[in-house]
Amino acid sequence: MTTTGFVPPPYPQDRLSELLATADRLPGGVIDCSVGTPVDPMPEVVRRAFVEALPQATGYPPSIGTPALRGAAAGWIERRFGVSLPAEQVRACVGTKEAVAGLPHLLALRDPTRDTVLYPAISYPTYAMGAVLAGLRAVPVPVDDRWRLDLGGVDAPDAERSLVLWLNDPANPTGAGSSPEEMRAAVAWARDRGIIVASDECYAEFTANDAGEPAPPVTAMVLADPALMSRSAPRRSRWPTASARSLPASDRAAPAATCGRGARPRHRTSSRARS
């Protein structure tokens, strides 16, 4: 007897390569506007740290992350966002991509009663892929004419079945960033429906207001519990080849991310974090 097992969907980048080849055959060829891959040189301080660390880099580090790494991530989160989080609530992950792709599966193990993943209709493809790989429904949330999530466009039955809502702020590929009020509204919408907020904030250092001026980043972490956010130090500082991302989780979301538990994140009031 033969059965048809799970057939993985095509890898999004492979689909893109085909489209690029097709477009390239048209007059003028492709204009590649992608910004996802850092092209600037790796900062000297990072290069030096790699070289100095290599001689001790035998053996496996704990998969949850070394205390030093987790403490460093928690420290940066506090300095940058004004969110105080015990280091035990920060986990290392191999890549943000791997965390995004794997999270729905872990969340579904914890709550098998919900089978839907909500994600921005125009977004990084791994949100939908993570749902598919977990055998869940991937339901896109429409975006409005400013590329902001239009949560009013989610059908009530889909919302009821939703396990997790992906936010991506500022968003890839649209560049749209939320005001603190918009972030608060999105988080409240999810919380009212018992939906976990997973906020991919890996571009949090690249924030601008509607006039294009630099603006402080917003984070779902100050507002939501359960919440998870993804942080990508290599993406921020131009060393994407290394694996040093972190997945900080609020108190109730922490067990889903792995197994650590600590105190609920506390919001330190600071003008930087609030504006």
Q: Rule CB under 6 A: choose which of 69, 91, 118, 124 binds ligand PLP.
A: 124
Of 12-20, 59-67, 157-165, 230-238, the window that binds ligand PLP (rule: CB under 6 A) is 230-238
Quick check: 200 binds ligand PLP (CB under 6 A)? yes
Nearer to ligand PLP, 200 or 225 (CB): 200
Among 114, 197, 118, 200, which Cα is nearest to 151's? 118
Quick check: 207 binds ligand PLP (CB under 6 A)? no
Question: Burial code of 119-145, b = ≥16 C-beta within 10 A, e = fewer?
Answer: bbebbbbbbbbbbbbbebbbbbbebee
Quick check: 202 binds ligand PLP (CB under 6 A)? yes
Range 14-73, binding ligand PLP (CB under 6 A) = 36
The label of the residue with tokens 């690249």 reads: 206
Provide, rounded to whole angstroms, the least separation between the CB of residue 202 and ligand PLP. Answer: 5
What number of H helices and E strands is found in the chain?
A: 10, 9
Q: How far is CA 36 from the centre of its chain?
A: 14
Q: Which residue is nearest to ligand PLP (CB)?
A: 96
Nearer to ligand PLP, 82 or 240 (CB): 240
Provide, rounded to whole angstroms, the least separation between the CB of residue 109 and ligand PLP. Answer: 22
Provide, rounded to whole angstroms, the least separation between the CB of residue 148 and ligand PLP. Answer: 16
For 135, which DSSP code? T
Give the span between the Cα atoms of 226 and 168, in whole angstroms.
16
Nearer to ligand PLP, 106 or 115 (CB): 106
CB-based contacts of 101, cutoff 8 Å, min separation 6: 126, 129, 130, 133
Nearer to ligand PLP, 140 or 262 (CB): 140
Return the bridge partners of 229, or none.
199
Quick check: 240 binds ligand PLP (CB under 6 A)? yes
Binding footprint of ligand PLP, residue count (CB under 6 A): 15
For 93, which DSSP code? E
Long-range (24+ apart) CB contacts under 8 A made by 153-158 are 154/118, 158/116, 158/118
Quick check: 97 binds ligand PLP (CB under 6 A)? yes
Quick check: 170 binds ligand PLP (CB under 6 A)? no
Provide, rounded to whole angstroms, the least separation between the CB of residue 62 and ligand PLP. Answer: 19
For 76, other C-beta atoms within 10 Å of its C-beta total 15
Of 93-101, 112-120, 141-149, 205-213, the window that binds ligand PLP (rule: CB under 6 A) is 93-101
Give the span between the Cα atoms of 85 and 265, in whole angstroms.
5
Q: Rule CB under 6 A: choose which of 103, 235, 249, 273 binds ligand PLP.
A: 235
Which residues contribute to the site for ligand PLP (CB under 6 A)?
Answer: 36, 95-97, 100, 124, 168, 172, 200, 202, 232, 234-235, 240, 245
